[in-house]
Chains A and B, each alone.
Chain A
């Protein structure tokens, strides 16, 4: 049982919005097995969903590709790695969203997804792997603080 919990859990799916629900379910099941509480799980689901949505819509755009989602844990931290082969999409390049204007009023509401990713996890960083793929790494404490 302990060995199974410590194994890396990986899901590889087509980079399609059709797979968002499957990815969220994978996050919920695996993070739960790794000891995350419900609040941390829902935060991770939101962050991963937003990240994969961006990969599909802004990375691959009209082309096909895969998304790989891996969960591991180190001590009390869940680590999610999201890998794709789309053209580079770096968090730091994204415009800061205008949160002072109603989302109902904006002509083109954008940037909310990146903002949510950054606020739902304890750490988020991008890197390019040796094989050329993009990797987004998210860290989230298993147990939510102050709840």
Chain B
């Protein structure tokens, strides 16, 4: 049995095009590479405004933060773009809060507002 991470992608439009990645399952050291690969693919396709919906994650470890870091660096290398978080589930919030990182992320609670915030 290995951990599973499902990533669904949707395009939204606010002030700018926003790509929403809906994550479901477990984001750990075994699955974080899948998130990075998907984000690479999206950024490579020219979509650099990324909104990660984290409500469907039943687990996230520090590997999730490393994946967010990798995505952030990819956007920097690309020269533009932003990553925001939407509705982190309780396990995700716990990790972010325990590390004291809440203020370092742009954490949104509503999809429409989040899309328009880019």
Contacts and interface: CB of A to CB of B under 8 A. Distances in A.
Contacts of A124: none
Contacts of A25: 1
Given A21-B1, A24-B59, A113-B61, A46 B69 contact: no
Interface string B55-69: 000010111011011
Contacts of A20: 2-3, 26, 28-30
A98 B59 CA distance: 23
Contacts of B72: 104-105
B55 to A, nearest CB: 16
Chain B binding surface, main DSSP class: mixed
B15 interface: no
A57 interface: yes
Interface stretch (B6-14, B16-24, B38-46, B91-99): B91-99
B62 A45 contact: no
A49 B68 contact: no
B1 A22 contact: yes
Question: Chain B: interface residue count, which band?
Answer: 20 to 34
Contact of B30 (A17, A103, A104): A17
A109 B95 contact: no
A120 B62 CA distance: 13
Contacts of A17: 28-30
A21 B4 CA distance: 8
A12 to B, nearest CB: 15
A92 B28 CA distance: 24
A105 B101 CA distance: 12
23 contacts: A18-B2, A20-B29, A21-B3, A21-B30, A22-B2, A49-B28, A53-B29, A56-B29, A97-B99, A99-B101, A102-B105, A103-B66, A104-B68, A104-B69, A106-B69, A109-B69, A112-B66, A112-B99, A113-B62, A115-B98, A116-B62, A116-B95, A120-B98
Interface of B: 1-4, 26, 28-30, 59, 61-63, 65-66, 68-69, 72, 83, 91, 94-95, 98-101, 104-105
Given A21-B26, A116-B98, A119-B98, 4 more contacts: A20-B29, A21-B30, A99-B100, A113-B62
